[in-house]
Amino acid sequence: MTKKFGIRYILLTVGLPLAFSRCQQNTTMRGEEPESLRAKQVESIMETDTALIAVLETDSVIHLSDSLPMVFKVYNPTNDTLRFTQYHTPFEGFISDFLTITDSEGGEVPYQGAMAKRVMPPPAETYCTVAPSQADSVRFSIMKGYSLSKPGTYTIRYNGGNISNIANGKPVIVRVVE
């Protein structure tokens, strides 16, 4: 009986304080973890934050019978070579909704193209580099992903910057005529 009491006593007097001190250490470590994670996230944002800018170019007046051609440029106004992923850009074709197109009444033109699921983070082969003060561009037809079926004035904006690391540039306004 003394042995059982002695072991229980040792567990209670030594084991519990050790267990509680371990919990306190873990709590302290967990308390520090979010702060160090925040620091890493800030560093990550600083490393991946870019000054690349999306520039959309098209004629100001387009006929409905046209394919509604557009040029998408990624401009690098910095003194450093920067990179972007092709995800959510016309560089990968129409496999995502990377434009927001609204009519003069504020109605959004729905995207009608394919929607791809991608590997995140983007693999190295999806990245393109842009030299300082240079641009990379691609031509595409808006009609491959959006249906502008009636004449009117439309505002077209690039919206894929949160994925591609390209700042959403100024929108373009296009008048579509018959």
Domain range annotation of the chain: 1-49, 53-177
Whether the pLDDT of residue 140 is over 90: the answer is yes
The answer to whether residues 83 and 131 touch, using CB atoms and an 8 Å cutoff, is no
Distance CA 30, CA 38 (A): 13
- Joined together, the tokens standing for residue 6 give 């002695």
* Residues 6+ positions from 109 with CB-CB distance below 8 Å: 101, 102, 103, 146, 147, 148, 154
Note the pLDDT of residue 23.
36
Note the pLDDT of residue 96.
92
Model confidence over 47-80: pLDDT tens digits?
444 489 999 999 999 998 888 899 999 999 999 9
Among residues 42, 122, 46, 43, which one has the least CA distance to residue 86?
122
Amino acid letter, 32: E
Among residues 155, 164, 177, 78, which one has the least CA distance to residue 128?
164
Q: 53-177: which CATH topology?
A: Immunoglobulin-like (2.60.40)
Model confidence over 13-37: pLDDT tens digits?
444 343 333 333 333 333 433 333 3
Note the pLDDT of residue 133.
94
Quick one: average pLDDT of 88-109?
A: 94
Q: What does residue 117 show for φ and ψ, rounded to 5 degrees?
A: -95, 140
130 or 7: which carries more pLDDT confidence? 130
Distance CA 120, CA 87 (A): 10
Whether the pLDDT of residue 82 is over 70: the answer is yes
* Residues 6+ positions from 90 with CB-CB distance below 8 Å: 70, 72, 98, 138, 140
* Residues 6+ positions from 130 with CB-CB distance below 8 Å: 52, 74, 75, 76, 81, 82, 83, 84, 136
Distance CA 50, CA 84 (A): 8
Whether the pLDDT of residue 38 is over 50: the answer is no
Residue percentage of the chain with pLDDT more than 90? 54
